[in-house]
Each structure stands twice: as C-alpha cells, then as structure tokens.
Amino acid sequence: MIKFENVTKAYPDGTVAVDGLNLEAPTGKLTILVGPSGCGKTTSLRMINRLIEPTSGTIYLDDKPTSGMDAALLRLRIGYVIQHAGLFPHRTIVDNVATMPVLLGESRQGARKKALELMERVGLPASFAKRYPWQLSGGQQQRVGVARALASDPAFMLMDEPFSAVDPVVRAQLQDEFLRLQREIGKTIIMVTHDIDEALKLGDQVAVMRVGGKLAQMATPSELLTAPADEFVADFVGRDRGYRSLGFANAAGTVTLTEEACVTLGTSAVEAQSKATGAWVLVVDGNRKPLGWAQPDLINGELKREHLNLSGTSASSSGTMRQLLDAALSSPSRRGVVVDSNGELIGTVTASDVVKAIEAEPHLETAR
C-alpha cells in the first residue's frame, strides 16, 4: 500500500503544486494519476521516492512513513519507469536490466541470468541481450525500462508516462503487454498519464486531479464513466462516456450470436456467392480463423487474398460490449465477427443485437 495523508508541496515563490492530497493506492493494484497539465501528478509521484520532498503531510509505504527512511534505501525498494526509458547508452541491454541486482550485491552472472528471464517476460528476445539502447526502437527501449524496474523485484513501482513517447500502435501493444504482466506479478503501482483513455484502460482505480494539486475524484474506471463527481471530472473524462463505459461491461452470455456461413481462400466465385448473405461472405482459414470479408460479385475465378476487405475487427466471446459493438460497426457487412479463446469463428452479431442486449440489461456486470 502507498498512502498520502494530507500531503502538500509548496515552493518558496508561493506556488502550490500539491494541496492537501489524501490518496491510497492498494497493495497489488494499479492506481493512475491523471489530470490537466500543472495539476501535480508528477510532483506527487516523485514525492513517493523523495526525489521531491513534501512540504507537509506524510507518505506511507505499508504503514511506514517514508520521511523516516534513508532516501537511497527507499529508492532501492521502488521500481521507477520514466517516459524515455532512461537507459545507460554505454551498457548492453542485459547489463542495463542487471543494474539493480548488481547494486544490491548479486553476482554479475546471477544478475545477467535474471535479466535474461525478465527480458523474455516483457517480450524481448534473448538475441537483444548484447545490443545497445540505440539499436532498439522506442517501444523496445520502454520494455527494457520496465524490465530494469522489475529486476530488483520491488514491492512498489512508479511509472511516469511510460508509454507516451511511442507511436499509437506500439503504445497499444505496450499497454496490453503491461496489463498481462501486471496480472502475473501483482505489484503495487502508481502511474502518471495525461491520457484519460490510457488511465481507463489500465487502472484498477483512477485519481483525477485538478490544477493546484487537489484530488477531484478517486474511483474505478467504470465509476468515473457512469458517476463523475462533478462537472470538472465529467468534462475531463469526455462526452462519449456512455459508449466508453461499454468497455467495462461483460458480453459473455448477454448477446445471441448468429451462425455465419463462410468460405476459404481458393473457393470459386460461384460457390462464394451461394454462401454469401447479402453482398458479403466471411473468409476463414483452415482452422476457421477469420481472415476478412469478400464480395463474390466482384470476383472472377477463385477467391484470393487480394479480394479481402480487412476493415472489420473481431471480438472475443469473453470480451466487452464495446468490442462487440465495434466489431459490428467496423464490418463492411455490418455483421461483427465473434471468436473463441483460440481465435476461431463462433458466430456473428449485429449492432442492433448488441443494443437490444444493452437495453435488456442496463446494469451489466463490470469486466476487468
């Protein structure tokens, strides 16, 4: 647990960065600090490991005040991930990750062995071990930064906009990998981000802060979307809250799927036409994994990969209502593809099917 008790940070010129902050980050959970520029997010984060000293109030790690701890020893207990990874440019990737275990007295050989294991855990191949940071992409460097923060097996982690310096596609991949990793390791984490969508996706709880360092609301992502505390929180979270809240509603068992006729690559245009519903037919591989949609009327001869329309997304049967609705709306046929845990086709769904399920069960179970 990380706890703020009436914590304030004021500077000599009168600027108050954080004002009477009371906040608790539960053990094993991910707490996100989010808010507009100048609201004290990063200042709050840096007060935890005493890179910035609070003016007043107390910060606790597992009920022990940090003010009474040796600052260097305190920082050894806390993993720290920053925006641009902060890697040592003159050290190989494996030695970057092994830095903390070596500082804590572990042999270099043992530290490197642990580093290789962590590299694999965060999705980096062992072949990267002897490379240098400049030889890696921005996303790969961020993975190294996460691995290095985990190398000393800290109970606590601080993350300051760790994914903001990479492109949107890589960012989404890193977020998904991090969620998977957190499910495995269950660290007590406080993360700062300026992106409300990232906060809602990653956080077990989200702390929305106002300019001046005051806490506006602390809640689960679902609660923020469905019950914002005031106009400031409502405006900050955004105006498409109803649609985004569907991302926290389980779809399993709530929507009836329709069996979808499908074909494989190499099928004749005539046979594809016979299987089509309307203008479109779904194309799958030999394992019934969806490849895309095709219009048989536009095909001469056999169905080939270049005939596929790839605009549609697919949704997992255990996913959320938002994923089901997106699959239906993004499909050129307006029939959303639904797959099982192995990615195999189990049926399709229309937007009207999803809306009917939402209207029938307005208080859908929250997904996480």
- pLDDT of 339-354, one tens digit each? 998 999 999 999 999 9
Q: Which of 161, 156, 153, 33 is nearest to 86 (CA)?
A: 161
Averaged pLDDT, 172-201: 89
Averaged pLDDT, 299-315: 92
Query: Percent of the chain scored above 70 by pLDDT?
Result: 97
Q: Considering the chain, what is the average pLDDT of its residues?
A: 90
Higher pLDDT, 244 or 9: 9
- pLDDT of 251-271, one tens digit each? 777 888 999 999 999 999 999
Residue 213 has pLDDT above 50, yes or no: yes
Taking the C-alpha atoms of residue 187 and residue 84, their distance in angstroms, rounded to an integer, is 21
Residue bearing tokens 């647990």: 1
Higher pLDDT, 251 or 332: 332
Averaged pLDDT, 148-160: 89
Residue 92 has pLDDT above 90, yes or no: yes
Residue 19 pLDDT: 95
Cβ atoms of 121 and 147 closer than 8 Å: yes
- Give the bridge partners for 262, in sequence order: 282
Taking the C-alpha atoms of residue 89 and residue 74, their distance in angstroms, rounded to an integer, is 25
Residue 12 has pLDDT above 80, yes or no: yes
Averaged pLDDT, 20-27: 95
In the chain, count H helices and then E strands. Answer: 14, 16
Residue 363 pLDDT: 52
**pTM of the shown model:** 0.77
Higher pLDDT, 228 or 366: 228
Higher pLDDT, 3 or 365: 3
Residue 368 has pLDDT above 70, yes or no: no
- Structural domains in the chain, CATH included, are 2-239 (3.40.50.300), 262-355 (3.10.580.10)
Taking the C-alpha atoms of residue 32 and residue 25, their distance in angstroms, rounded to an integer, is 9
The model's confidence at residue 362, banded by pLDDT at 50, 70 and 90, is: low
Residue 162 has pLDDT above 90, yes or no: no
For the record, the structure tokens of 170 come out as 């890589």
The model's confidence at residue 190, banded by pLDDT at 50, 70 and 90, is: very high
Residue 248 pLDDT: 78
Q: What is the maximal distance between C-alpha atoms in the chain?
A: 80
Cβ atoms of 265 and 305 closer than 8 Å: yes
Residue 365 pLDDT: 46
Cβ atoms of 109 and 93 closer than 8 Å: no
Question: What does each C-alpha distance from 252 to 35, 99, 320, 337 come to in angstroms?
Answer: 33, 45, 8, 14
Cβ atoms of 43 and 190 closer than 8 Å: no
